[in-house]
Amino acid sequence: MIKLYSSQNLVLIYLIKEELENQKILTMLKNAEPPLGGEIPRAIAWPELWIMHDEDYPTAKTTVENLLLKHADGKNWRCAHCEETNESQFTICWKCEMSRF
């Protein structure tokens, strides 16, 4: 078992997880639930996507890279929630903090 990807953006992790599972790569999600108050800070306990079989790592890593490139196309994007324009490198709207994905 090996950690593949970690992000505060749980929606993006689920998109990656679904794509990997479509490729028959078994995955496991850790830290999907935010810590309770007084526990580990959320920034330390970001959601993590793990793959179950180490031999799947090269394929899984390529899949993650391709998905991230696909969503970071260099173009500004408009938030579906508040319609604010955001730069391409951001996945969270600066105004309302909604996810791009």
15 lies in which domain range?
2-73
pLDDT tens by residue, 10-36: 888 898 999 999 999 999 999 888 766
Q: How far is C-alpha 57 from the geometric centre of its chain's CA atoms?
A: 17
In a domain, 79, yes or no: no
Among 87, 70, 67, residue whose Cα is nearest residue 78: 87
In a domain, 94, yes or no: no
CA distance 28 to 17: 8
Assigned token pair, 48: 């993590």
Tell me what pLDDT residue 41 has: 67
Q: How many domains does the chain have?
A: 1
In a domain, 37, yes or no: yes
In a domain, 89, yes or no: no
Tell me what pLDDT residue 43 has: 62
pLDDT tens by residue, 59-83: 999 999 888 777 666 788 888 889 9
In a domain, 12, yes or no: yes
**What does the pLDDT average to over 90-94?**
83
In a domain, 98, yes or no: no
Assigned token pair, 30: 């850790």
Which alpha helices (DSSP H) does the chain contain, by range? 10-22, 57-71
In a domain, 62, yes or no: yes
In a domain, 86, yes or no: no
